[in-house]
Amino acid sequence: MYQAAQNRYQVIPYRRCGASGLMLPAVSLGLWHNFGDTAPYENMRALCRTAFDHGITHFDLANNYGPEPGAAERNFGKILRDDLGVYRDELIISTKAGYLMWDGPYGDWGSRKYLLASLDRSLQRMGLDYVDIFYHHRMDPNTPLEETMGALAQAVRSGKALYAGLSNYDGPTLEKAAAILDELHVPFVINQNRYSIFDRTIEHNGLKDTAAKLHKGIITFSPLAQGLLTDRYLHGIPADSRVHTDGRFLKEKDITPERLAQISALNDLARQRGQTLAEMALAWLLHHDEVTTVLIGASKTQQILDNIKAVEHTTFTPDELAAIDRISK
């Protein structure tokens, strides 16, 4: 029987999620990739064990993570039964709804009908009574924001979620949503958005500044830009890379000579800091006060061990920050 490492809370720091009482590890594990039915179960199990043994208490899912949609939640539910379930009170488990999950008009976007039905199905797949964070996964231009936020409020009131979150929102919509949730007395604590050295969208659409103003946390996904912010592609595209094995999120056309020149320059800067490029990319995110935690993915346990090294050096000189901006922009 699995027993977690006794020193697991001495590895990485925990950071307060905005102005809430919730603490999250500086590094969280995302199950977006490598937890579907095409992945070996024992490898998924090893990834989760390794993460928890090294202080990663937060496991992030969504209803549509797979393949097939729902598979990641189902597989994580088995890992809970086999290994982690006895530590449930030490875990932060999040899931989301907002992208296409089932056929028909009630399996997508942000209606009350879809969100609450999806949460019930997610809980069934994972074998849980509640999740710690339930997110609306993306903005819905057609459903009234009051309806979507009301569904999040109902999820919390029912005891099926402890906190509410928003994902892929921009600053103005976040501010409107937060006002509704405040009026409904919902513990909305966190925003999940793509953010990396190569993707500064939240710096330009108001999300980052608004989250800081409202004292809400930010969890960043794709912090390594689907592997571009590593040294993996500096000497060609490996046969086992995501470009060849998946191709949905990183394509060969994205790896241009100009991009490779940026990666090489950033890699040189990381080496001068005594870090790998991946470590520096994660550390760069963590040096922002607005960021609570970075969400990593992994296909091998060693990647988790490598990525958590980023917490050891998250300070940057003004010259280093200026160089990163100059190279990446």
Please state the three-class secondary structure of the chain as a single string.
Answer: CCCCCCCHHHCCCEEECCCCCCEEECEEEECCCCCCCCCCHHHHHHHHHHHHHCCCCEEECCCCCCCCCCHHHHHHHHHHHHHHHHHHHHCEEEEEECCCCCCCCCCCCCCHHHHHHHHHHHHHHHCCCCEEEEEECCCCCCCCHHHHHHHHHHHHHCCCEEEEEEECCCHHHHHHHHHHHHHCCCCEEEEEEECCCCCCHHHHCCHHHHHHHHCCEEEEECCCHHHCCCCCCECECCCCCHHHHCCCCCCHHHCCHHHHHHHHHHHHHHHHCCCCHHHHHHHHHHCCCCCCEEEECCCCHHHHHHHHHHHHCCCCCHHHHHHHHHHHC
> How many Å apart are CA 172 and CA 209, to the nearest integer?
10
Q: What is the pLDDT of residue 233?
A: 84
Q: Are 233 and 241 in contact (CB under 8 A)?
A: yes
pTM for this prediction? 0.95
Residue 297: pLDDT over 70:
yes
* Tokens matching residue 305: 């061990």
Mean pLDDT for 242-246 is 56
Residue 237: pLDDT over 90:
no
Under CATH, what is the fold of the domain 12-328? TIM Barrel (3.20.20)
Residue 3 CB: number of other CB atoms within 10 A? 9
Mean pLDDT for 66-75 is 97
> How many Å apart are CA 329 and CA 326, to the nearest integer?
6
Residue 239: pLDDT over 70:
no
> How many Å apart are CA 189 and CA 293, to the nearest integer?
13
Residue 244: pLDDT over 50:
no
pLDDT digits (tens, 9 = 90+) for 94-152: 999 999 999 999 999 999 999 999 999 999 999 999 999 999 999 999 999 999 999 99
- Residue from 115, 117, 56, 112 nearest 307 by CA: 56
pLDDT digits (tens, 9 = 90+) for 42-62: 999 999 999 999 999 999 999
pLDDT digits (tens, 9 = 90+) for 258-284: 999 999 999 999 999 999 999 999 999
pLDDT digits (tens, 9 = 90+) for 121-133: 999 999 999 999 9
Mean pLDDT for 193-197 is 98
